[in-house]
Chain A
Amino acid sequence: MSARTPVITGIGVVAPTGVGVAEHWRNSLAGTTRIAPISAPEPPAPTGGSTSSVDRDLPISVAGEVAGFTHTEFVANRLAVQTDRWTWMALAATEMALTDADLDPRREVPMDLSVVTASGSGGNAFGQREIQALWRDGPRMVSAYQSIGWFYAASSGQISIRHQLKGACGVLVADGAGGIGAVAQARRLIRRGSAAVVAGGTEAPLSPYALACQSSVATLHRGADPALAYRPFAAGASGYVPGEGGAMLVLEAAHRARGRSARVYAEIAGTASTHDAHHPSEPAPDHRQLARAMRTALDRAGVSPDEIGVVFADGAGDPLGDRREAAAIAEVFGGRRVPVTVPKTMTGRLCSGGASLDLAWAALALRHDVVPPTVNVDPADAAASGLDLVTEAREGAGLRAALVVARGVGGFNAAAVLTAA
């Protein structure tokens, strides 16, 4: 490990599996799905004008909501009115990650610290509320905070201000692959001298208009039974379920983490991103670029496929996407049946928050030497995929390295190799 290799020293999670890393990990190992009937949408308190009426049904029946998240525990009212739920989750996850890392930014040089977030759809409920106010009640009813509450950089900006992270800050959008892109950017910053980077992503895509926009995705699952809704690699896979939340990670240069005797979850040994460049909405005709992302990440990490103890698969949940990924894994790992898991079967797919949560899962798996399970998929059901799908928490596997795979709508592919500290 070179001195400037980034290591994960802190994890903050706000996800359907829990708020805080301890609760998240406990629930992940218990393997209970958090995908449930979606709650009725409530309009957020309007900043002005009358309340809305004439509600219609949502395009989906089940989702992965973060039930136990009380944003006021993390965000003062004055700030809460300026920000969207997506930013509340990012602020909460960041605060918990810094605490988890025992890193107090006030004791650091501010310009040596950065934040990089993966962003997806911005402040959905916030933006919808303000557009609604504009069109129903007129331009003067638009909040003074619309210009800072909705846009994709809102979370990075608020995190930077709250914690005085004054180095280069970033916002990267690559749909579901963005979380790995954010960590790759953090790696570049650390290589160039940053002391610590908070990197990750959250998403709050379950507000009515954001859901309506997602209904254009053909693989969105519309059924009502949570147990059948998101079953990647199963013979009867029938799409994916959206969820909310994500994770923030504290990354530090290895030498610095060692110097302050920080607890290290894992090392980010290599990352890679590719694009299918085939069609904006149609799946690619093959798995070439997905496999290339995996191979390149392994090459950059200097880790051979044989050393990988578990693959955190993207798990698209539609038969074609799953076949492509299984083929890519088979190609990269040759004849070896590497254990594969999709713990996001417990949460749904979190768009820009998803890959960050997978990185958190992988880091926890390496730290505790336990593979979190894929739920709602019977091993027999996934037999045709040829994968060794981990469907119950697998302990004591002697994990030394993990591969995290992520894809985004349109053809984004990304992979990251994490190694044990």
Chain B
Amino acid sequence: MTRRSVVTGIGVVVPGGANREEFWSRIVAGKPAIRRISRFDPGAYRSQIAAECDFDPAEYGLSPQVIRRTDRFVQMACASADEAVRDAGLDLVAIDGDRVGVSLGSAVGATIRLEDEYVVASDHGRAWTVDANHLMPFMYQQLVPSSAATELAVRYGAHGPAAVISTGCTSGIDSIGHAHGLIQDGEADVVIAGASDAPISPITVACFDAIRATTPRNDEPELASRPFDAGRQGFVLGEGSAVLIVEELEHARARGARIYCEVSGYAARANGFHMTGLRPDGFELGEAISETVAQAGITPEDIGYISAHGSGTKQNDRHETAAYKRALGDTVRGIPISSIKSVVGHSLGAIGSIEMAACALVIERGVIPPTANLTDPDPECDLDYTPLVSREAEVHHALSAGSGFGGFQSAMVFSRVPA
């Protein structure tokens, strides 16, 4: 018999949303949490704005030792995982830790710590070889991001398979897909699955400046993230984390867990085209979507909501529109679609899991969050991208799509589980 996986807990840390409920309110309100970068002086950069979290790990109960030894992306992962575990009502003492896995997505890992420490040890970049005596301890844990999966495994006594999934900007969908595979194949009954990224550091801002991927619209931060709008000029870098408790259906039922939805389909494809460029026809993303929908055993008519990748770059939003048309045909014109990146920015690997959290909540609550700032739709992005205001809708199946550097394209369907 096929083992099915369901979502039983959700935890979120996003810009303008310190937890799951604040996240939900924020995206439903469509109020962008974007501002001038405060972590460092961005004056010398092309893009000087970001979606920043007001995140203090101590407020989430992280111990001084955890805070000292971990990068911000790990701290955010711990905070959102704690909330997800609580939400799922998981009794970590009662359940068999050997059957609990960890699958955490991250695109860029501990870049803030790595950069901060390098600046010190290299004397502001003067030396090519660096003086290790000036580094803080636990630097290997910064260098190799699997340490983030270790932190979660240690935190919850998870002795099952643990890994960081790092497929760039599709990491957050792929990490949940990885968890789904572990459960289907009987390698775990519960997987702490999600993603986290904290990339707002000088090197990351500079590397996106260099390819003009991020928006230079610095004077009006709240208007800068405009997916599918004719006036979009690039994405807005963000940070954050979402963790979902992905659990085998019968395991969840046996313990009387509340079930948000089922992970009913997951597929990934690669465009084999370019590390950053996208083929205009959206062929491979369309293939991922078609395969995902087929796995879910549904037709396009059954899809009640699409959480778009919608990064707000010129090429992505057109590519994605083409992919939806290719995979879902004319039916897609009747499906509400939105990009919450208009509100919480693009947190690279993390955003895929944040968007899956949104899909689970959309199914539970029957409200479609809007695309903020969509006042003048790009004529080539001519689908129902839910401009500006939320709307009510009963959603049984929600689709999410992601696209990232490396040419990776992923899609996932969450479906309501009949009680």
Contacts and interface: CB of A to CB of B under 8 A. Distances in A.
A188 B272 contact: no
Interface stretch (B10-18, B201-209, B322-330, B386-394): B201-209
A122 B406 CA distance: 14
B211 A133 contact: no
B206 A169 contact: no
A157 B165 contact: no
Contacts of A404: none
Given A56-B129, A165-B270, A181-B163, A157 B408 contact: yes
B408 A153 contact: yes
B369 to A, nearest CB: 28
Q: Which 6 A-B pairs have the closest CB atoms?
A: A157-B406, A410-B150, A135-B125, A136-B125, A168-B268, A152-B166
Contact of B210 (A43, A144, A164, A211): A144
Interface residues of B, number: 88
A230 B203 CA distance: 36
A153 B107 contact: yes
A261 interface: no
Interface in A278-303: 278-281, 289, 292
B174 A411 contact: no
B128 A55 contact: yes
Contacts of B45: 139
A280 B126 contact: no
B405 A148 contact: yes
Q: Which of A136, A157, A279 has most B Cβ within 10 Å? A: A157
B203 A289 contact: no
A411 B127 CA distance: 34
A3 interface: no
A298 to B, nearest CB: 15
A132 B122 CA distance: 8
A188 B181 contact: yes
A211 B123 CA distance: 17
B52 to A, nearest CB: 19
Nearest to A212: B132
Interface in B122-163: 122-132, 135, 137-147, 149-151, 153-154, 156-163
B110 to A, nearest CB: 10
A155 to B, nearest CB: 9
Contacts of A181: 161, 163
28 contacts: A41-B128, A52-B126, A82-B275, A111-B287, A119-B166, A131-B114, A131-B203, A139-B206, A142-B206, A150-B207, A152-B107, A152-B108, A153-B404, A157-B407, A158-B275, A161-B272, A170-B165, A181-B163, A213-B140, A214-B139, A215-B132, A216-B141, A272-B187, A275-B158, A275-B159, A277-B154, A277-B162, A352-B144
Interface in B186-211: 187, 202-203, 205-211
A146 interface: yes
A167 interface: yes
A121 interface: yes
Contact of B168 (A121, A134, A153, A184): A153
A247 B218 CA distance: 46
Contacts, number: 303
A133 B187 CA distance: 45
Given A152-B166, A153-B167, A214-B143, A142 B203 contact: yes
Contacts of A279: 154
A408 interface: yes
Contacts of B132: 59, 211-213, 215-216
Q: Majority SS of interface residues in chain B?
A: mixed
B209 A139 contact: yes
B98 A142 contact: no
B55 interface: no
Interface of A: 41, 43, 52-59, 82, 110-111, 114, 119-122, 127-128, 130-139, 142-144, 146-148, 150-154, 156-158, 160-161, 164-175, 178, 181, 184-185, 188, 191, 205, 208-217, 272-281, 289, 292, 351-352, 408-412
Nearest to A191: B185
B190 to A, nearest CB: 13
A243 B44 CA distance: 39
Nearest to B274: A161
B336 to A, nearest CB: 28
B165 A151 contact: no
Contacts of A58: 129
B417 to A, nearest CB: 23
Contact of A408 (B146, B207, B406): B146
A407 to B, nearest CB: 12
Q: Majority SS of interface residues in chain A?
A: mixed
Contacts of A211: 132
A212 B142 CA distance: 12
B127 A55 contact: yes
Q: Which of A175, A214, A408, A412 has most B Cβ within 10 Å? A: A175
B115 interface: yes
B124 A292 contact: no
A302 B225 CA distance: 54
A156 B406 contact: yes
A280 to B, nearest CB: 5
Contacts of A148: 275-276, 405-406
A134 B125 contact: yes
Contact of B207 (A54, A146, A167, A178): A146
Given A153-B408, A173-B166, A213-B140, A54 B126 contact: yes
A322 to B, nearest CB: 20
Contacts of B208: 147
A130 B159 contact: no
B198 to A, nearest CB: 14
Nearest to A289: B159
Nearest to A211: B132
B178 interface: yes
A127 B115 CA distance: 10
B276 A280 contact: no
A147 B210 contact: yes
B203 A280 contact: no
Contact of A274 (B154, B160, B166): B160
Given A135-B125, A274-B98, A280 B147 contact: yes
B119 interface: yes
A147 B138 contact: no
Given A151-B107, A168-B269, A132 B163 contact: no
Nearest to A167: B269
B124 A136 contact: yes
A378 B114 CA distance: 40
A351 B178 CA distance: 22
Contacts of A275: 102, 149-150, 153, 158-162
B97 interface: yes
Contact of A210 (B131, B143, B274): B143
